Amino acid sequence: MAAYTGTYISDQDIVKISTDKLISIYAWDEWPWLAQLGRSKATGDQDHKWLDSPEGLVKTAINMSGGMTGGASEEITVDSTAYFKAEDSIAIQQNTQSPQMAYISAIGSGTTMTIYPYSGTLHAHDDDTVILYAGHYKAYGPMIVRPLRMPNDKTNYIEQIDAQSTLPVNVAEARFLNEMKAEAWFTRDMISQLKQSLTVVTLVGEGVDPTTGAGKGKMNGLVNLIPDANKSSAVTFTKAHIRSFVNGLKKRGAFPTNKGLGICNSEMLNSLMALDDSKTGISERDTDTPIHDWNFRGIKFKLIEEMVLNEYFDAGKEAGFFLTPTAKGEKLLKLATIARKARSDGKVRHVLEEEAQYVMQTALFATLELRDDFRHGMFLASA
């Protein structure tokens, strides 16, 4: 759709473009978030399923109140042994104790393993100390074959997003000289309604299981798909706090190409841009368009002000999502859709002529797909 520039689409063109494409290109400056989403076909009749990568490094953490005892060997409790086997080598993170290499002699359960040090004795490592997978503790020749980094199933409920545009017959006859322009009026009005609905639910939607909600399936939006571990705690907006937040995401695998996407309310955008106020040349920056570039912690963010977030969050607090658009060669943010009626051009708009009015309807079954959720974060300032 590179032929279209800005937001103007002619009457003749708008009725030929599928609803799915119009979601991306029509009035993108008013609804810029939807233009950033990739597209995929939704699966399932109620849930959309996708395979999600586990977090970057194969690791777990000690889960013992008071930490390890230490000694010649020890059975320890960890968060999970899912990706570990007997005879694996492990690296134990530095904490109040020095870092240490060890190996697993046995896996006791889904959360216990017995470990031995390579030399000396085990240190009394603290609770929450990270344990990294470090290969095998085996003699030359034998190998351990196991499926590391197997993707997990993730799901989101599919929601029916619909819109309707109605025009009285007398108004249509008075204003339009041909059906094409009448249909174009319908389409513009209806797509605007549809894009508001999609923007709100994909950003802040709350999931409703259709099996328990009398068939009323509602998708989870970003605010609920991003894990709590990737949401800011109650902190004020300062350069140090935002740097620490972005750094925490980076350590979890976010922004592998040093590029990110920021979907912000006006307070967040204003505060981020104000970080450069003391630098010369700031007056040369174009700060009146809805999209900006912001460089921070070596990462180049494309910042987009989304007016839905201006209304949803407290107007006096900075709020926004810091997202990883792509990783491993594929988009991590997708709008997964099922057309109400399969057609080669994807158009699902129908004009119904009634006695006193024209009615155009469209329905889209869609949900938000957020892959690798550990690569995305949400910042909400406390004051």
Instruction: Give the separation between CA 154 and CA 132, rounded to whole angstroms.
Output: 25
Instruction: Please state, in angstroms and as integers, the Cα–Cα distance from residue 5 to each residue in 90, 292, 345, following that order.
Output: 55, 18, 21
Tell me which residue of 330, 363, 362 sits closest to 349, measured CA to CA: 362
Q: What are phi and psi of 321, to 5 degrees?
A: -110, 135
In a shared domain, residues 17 and 161: yes
Report pLDDT for 341. 55
**143: in domain:** no
What range defines the domain where residue 15 resides? 11-52+154-380
In a shared domain, residues 227 and 327: yes
pLDDT at residue 120 is higher than 50: yes
Overall average pLDDT of the 188-204 stretch:
92
In a shared domain, residues 34 and 87: no
pLDDT at residue 291 is higher than 80: no
Rounded to 5, what percent of the chain is helix, strand, coil? Answer: 25, 30, 45
Other beta carbons less than 10 A from residue 162's beta carbon: 16
pLDDT band at 247 (very low <50, low <70, confident <90, very high): very high
pLDDT band at 175 (very low <50, low <70, confident <90, very high): low
Report pLDDT for 159. 93
In a shared domain, residues 210 and 256: yes
The SS3 assignment for 66 reads coil
Query: Do 346 and 18 touch, CB atoms closer than 8 A?
Result: yes
In a shared domain, residues 111 and 214: no
Q: Report the percentage of the chain scoring pLDDT > 70.
A: 87
The overall average pLDDT reported for the chain is 85
Report pLDDT for 113. 97
Lowest mean pLDDT among 144-158, 225-239, 287-301: 287-301
Q: For position 190, which CATH number holds?
A: 3.90.1690
User: What is the token pair recorded at 348?
Assistant: 């699902």
Which is it for strands 130-136 and 350-353: parallel, antiparallel or unpaired?
Answer: unpaired
In a shared domain, residues 19 and 76: no
The tens digit of pLDDT for each residue in 72-98 reads 999 999 999 988 999 999 999 999 999
The SS3 assignment for 12 reads helix
Residues across the chain = 383
Number of domains in the chain: 2
pLDDT band at 2 (very low <50, low <70, confident <90, very high): very low
User: What is the token pair recorded at 312?
Assistant: 């949803």
**163: in domain:** yes
Other beta carbons less than 10 A from residue 232's beta carbon: 21
Overall average pLDDT of the 150-161 stretch:
90
Report pLDDT for 17. 81
In a shared domain, residues 96 and 26: no
**351: in domain:** yes
In a shared domain, residues 188 and 211: yes
